[in-house]
Amino acid sequence: MRAQTVHPPPGSDSMSDVSSDQKNLAMLAHLLGIVGGFIPGLVIWMMNKDKPEGAFAANEGKEALNFQITLLIGWVAAIALSFILIGFLLYPVLLLGNIIFCIIAAMKAKEGVAYRYPVALRLVA
């Protein structure tokens, strides 16, 4: 059974019928990515993907997972480029980007608003 993608009603980014538990799980998926990488997003997505009442948390967990996988690819590229001394310039960009985007996403999730990272590859559909 495929998980349903949650879309807010036309003309609105808010999902007012999302429970506070779902908002909290979605917020945690984004915030815990700062220290836990892709694991928190993966766990929250897997726990909620087949539950109709967990669609918001599943969608946000999947979004957090995609962003953290994208960052992982960026870190691998930065480490590889470090051998020619260019990769060291990417370290602060990746670190600050992770912190800033995760905090923005967590704040939106706490409001019940679906957030899409602007720089994430959509690897998990």
SS (H, E, C) the chain: CCCCCCCCCCCCCECCCCCHHHHHHHHHHHHCHHHHCCHHHHHHHHHHCCCHHHHHHHHHHHHHHHHHHHHHHHHHHHHHHHHHCCHHHHHHHHHHHHHHHHHHHHHHHHCCECCCCCCCCCCCC
* Domain boundary assignment for the chain: 20-108
Q: pLDDT at residue 102 above 50?
A: yes
Closest CA to 48 of 64, 37, 34, 36: 64
State residue 10's pLDDT score: 44
State residue 16's pLDDT score: 60
What are the backbone angles phi and psi of residue 113, rounded to the nearest 5°? -100, 130
pLDDT band, very low/low/confident/very high, at 24 (cuts 50, 70, 90): very high
What pTM was computed for the model?
0.83
State the chain's mean pLDDT as an integer: 88
Cα–Cα distance for residue pair 60/45, rounded to 1 Å: 8
